[in-house]
Structure 1
Amino acid sequence: MTGVVALSPFVTMIESEDGLVFLNKRTGKYWQLNGTGSEVVRLLLSGETVESAASRLQEKYPDASDQTVSDVHTLVRQLQAAKLLAR
């Protein structure tokens, strides 16, 4: 899963105390991400690929590195399925 990811045009994103909150204006549904998930999204929106975002997290959290790549891919798939992120 490579390539640049962007916020869907009908989605609003705001910072919260705990991470990021998304509003899908088409469905009216909210999503909230914790700090790590928010970090992934910020990296992706700044131009990082899924793989480079996972690598950065592996460097920051070496104890979780076995699962980091899989978790980042899963998060991106879920956010795309919810139409929050687009390619």
Structure 2
Amino acid sequence: MSMTLGKHVSASDVEDGMVLLDERKGRYFKVNPSGALILHALLDGSEPADVIKMIMERYEVSQERAAADVDALTAELSGNGLVTV
């Protein structure tokens, strides 16, 4: 899966995660630290299965939980037009 930020979206790392700005709508979206880790990995070209493994190891969560988190973040961001998958 290849994920990219929308052309109208800018992203900034912050102390407790990441902030995305939808420049078309003037809306900010805050992503928590684990979400920022997921988003960076996917934007860098990692496959979702690899990101799920990384989340499982880093946060000591089940595969189901990690997969649900990756899927939820991807759906939320793409649903708001912030990324293309």
Q: When the two structures are superposed, what TM-score results if normalisation uses the length of structure 2?
A: 0.91
Alpha-carbon distance, 1:53 to partner:
0.9
- Any unmatched runs of 5+ in structure 1? none
Answering whether residue 35 of structure 2 is matched by residue 37 of structure 1, we say yes
Matched position secondary structure for 2:18:
strand
CA distance in 2, matches of 1:16, 1:61: 20
CA distance in 1, matches of 2:59, 2:16: 19
CA distance in 1, matches of 2:69, 2:52: 8
Residue 27 (structure 1) aligns with: 25
CA distance in 2, matches of 1:85, 1:52: 19
Instruction: Please give the per-residue CA displacement for 1:35-81, whole angstroms capped at 9, x wherever unaligned.
Output: 0000000101111122221121112222x223111111011000000
In structure 2, what residue type is equivalent to 1:37?
A: G
Q: List, as ranges, runs of 4+ consecutive aligned residues in structure 1 with deviation greater than 3 Å.
A: none
- Equivalenced residue count is 84
Kindly indicate whether the alpha-carbon contact (under 8 Å) linking 1:8 and 1:84 is maintained by their aligned counterparts in 2. yes
- Any unmatched runs of 5+ in structure 2? none
User: CA-atom RMSD, angstroms?
Assistant: 1.1
- Among candidates 45, 56, 59, match of residue 58 of structure 1: 56
Residue 8 (structure 1) aligns with: 6
Matched position secondary structure for 1:76:
helix
| Fraction of identical pairs, as percent | 27
Q: When the two structures are superposed, what TM-score results if normalisation uses the length of structure 1?
A: 0.89
Alpha-carbon distance, 1:27 to partner:
0.9
